[in-house]
Amino acid sequence: MKLRNFFQGDIRDDAENGIQELMRAILVRAQFSPGVRHAIGWR
Protein backbone atom coordinates (compact mmCIF):
# COMPACT_ATOMS: atom_id res chain seq x y z
CA MET A 1 0.00 0.00 0.00
CA LYS A 2 1.48 3.32 -1.11
CA LEU A 3 0.52 5.37 1.95
CA ARG A 4 3.66 7.50 1.60
CA ASN A 5 2.28 8.79 -1.71
CA PHE A 6 0.19 11.25 0.26
CA PHE A 7 0.81 10.85 3.98
CA GLN A 8 4.15 11.14 5.76
CA GLY A 9 2.96 11.26 9.36
CA ASP A 10 3.12 8.59 12.05
CA ILE A 11 -0.25 7.97 13.69
CA ARG A 12 1.43 6.21 16.64
CA ASP A 13 2.84 9.52 17.89
CA ASP A 14 -0.60 11.05 18.42
CA ALA A 15 -3.57 9.00 17.21
CA GLU A 16 -6.17 11.73 17.57
CA ASN A 17 -4.26 14.32 15.56
CA GLY A 18 -2.77 11.72 13.25
CA ILE A 19 -6.10 10.33 12.05
CA GLN A 20 -7.35 13.88 11.37
CA GLU A 21 -4.14 14.61 9.48
CA LEU A 22 -4.69 11.46 7.41
CA MET A 23 -8.27 12.48 6.52
CA ARG A 24 -7.04 15.97 5.67
CA ALA A 25 -4.41 14.49 3.34
CA ILE A 26 -7.06 12.42 1.50
CA LEU A 27 -9.35 15.43 1.14
CA VAL A 28 -6.85 18.13 0.30
CA ARG A 29 -4.29 16.46 -1.93
CA ALA A 30 -6.77 15.78 -4.73
CA GLN A 31 -7.70 19.48 -4.79
CA PHE A 32 -4.27 20.51 -6.11
CA SER A 33 -4.77 18.80 -9.44
CA PRO A 34 -7.77 20.48 -11.14
CA GLY A 35 -8.23 17.83 -13.86
CA VAL A 36 -8.10 14.97 -11.38
CA ARG A 37 -10.22 16.82 -8.87
CA HIS A 38 -13.11 17.21 -11.30
CA ALA A 39 -12.74 13.72 -12.71
CA ILE A 40 -13.04 12.28 -9.19
CA GLY A 41 -16.16 14.31 -8.50
CA TRP A 42 -15.08 17.31 -6.41
CA ARG A 43 -16.16 20.73 -7.57
Partner 1 sequence: MKQSINAVEGWIAKIRGYAGIFGLHFEGIEETPGWFTGSFGLCYFADPDEALVEHCSLLAAAYCQRPDYISLVREFLQHDKMASYFRVGKLFLAIDIRQRYLYLGMESLSVQRSIAKDGVCLQHNGHMVQVIKPGEYDQDFPALPVTQAFFDVLASSLVFHLEQSPDWMLERCFPGVEIVYDNEGIIRKSPASDIHEVLIGLGFGDCRFGDIL
40 touches partner 1 (CB under 8 A): yes
Q: How far is the CB of 30 from partner 1 (least distance, A)?
A: 4
End-to-end CA distance of the chain: 27
Q: Which residues contact 24 (CB under 8 A, 6 or more apart)?
A: none
Q: How far is the CB of 42 from partner 1 (least distance, A)?
A: 6
32 touches partner 1 (CB under 8 A): no
Q: Which residues contact 7 (CB under 8 A, 6 or more apart)?
A: 21, 22, 25
Q: Which residues bind partner 1 (CB under 8 A)?
A: 1-3, 5-6, 10-12, 15-16, 18-20, 22-31, 36, 38, 40-43
